[in-house]
C-alpha cells in the first residue's frame, strides 16, 4: 500500500482543485448561453458529477 506524505497530499490536492476549477469554468460557460440545448444540459450534468468526484477525492485526503 502506498502512503502519501503531506507534500504529496498538498500537490495532489492542488491538482484536484485545478481540475475542479476548470470544470466549474466549463459549466459557467455553458450556462452563459442564451438557450441551452439538451446536449448542453447533459454536459453540465456530467461535469457536475465529475466535480463531485473531485471534491470527494479532495476530502478523502484528510483521512489518508
Residue 38 lies in a domain: yes
Residue 47 lies in a domain: yes
Residues of the domain holding 44: 17-63
pTM above 0.85, yes or no: no
Residue 48 lies in a domain: yes
Q: Is 58 helix (H, G, I), strand (E, B) or coil?
A: helix
pLDDT digits (tens, 9 = 90+) for 24-55: 999 999 999 989 999 999 999 999 999 999 99
Query: How far apart are the C-alpha atoms of 32 and 28, rounded to whole Å?
Result: 6
Residue 28 lies in a domain: yes
Give pLDDT, residue 63. 60
Residue 9 lies in a domain: no
Query: How far apart are the C-alpha atoms of 16 and 64, rounded to whole Å?
Result: 15
Using the predicted structure, report yes or no on whether residue 8 has a pLDDT greater than 70.
Answer: yes
Amino acid at each position: 500500500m502506498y502512503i502519501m506524505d503531506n507534500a504529496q497530499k498538498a500537490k495532489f490536492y492542488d491538482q484536484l482543485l485545478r481540475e475542479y476549477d476548470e470544470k466549474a469554468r466549463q459549466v459557467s460557460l455553458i450556462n452563459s448561453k442564451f438557450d441551452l440545448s439538451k446536449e448542453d444540459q447533459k454536459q453540465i450534468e456530467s461535469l457536475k458529477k465529475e466535480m463531485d468526484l473531485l471534491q470527494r477525492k479532495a476530502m478523502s485526503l484528510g483521512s489518508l
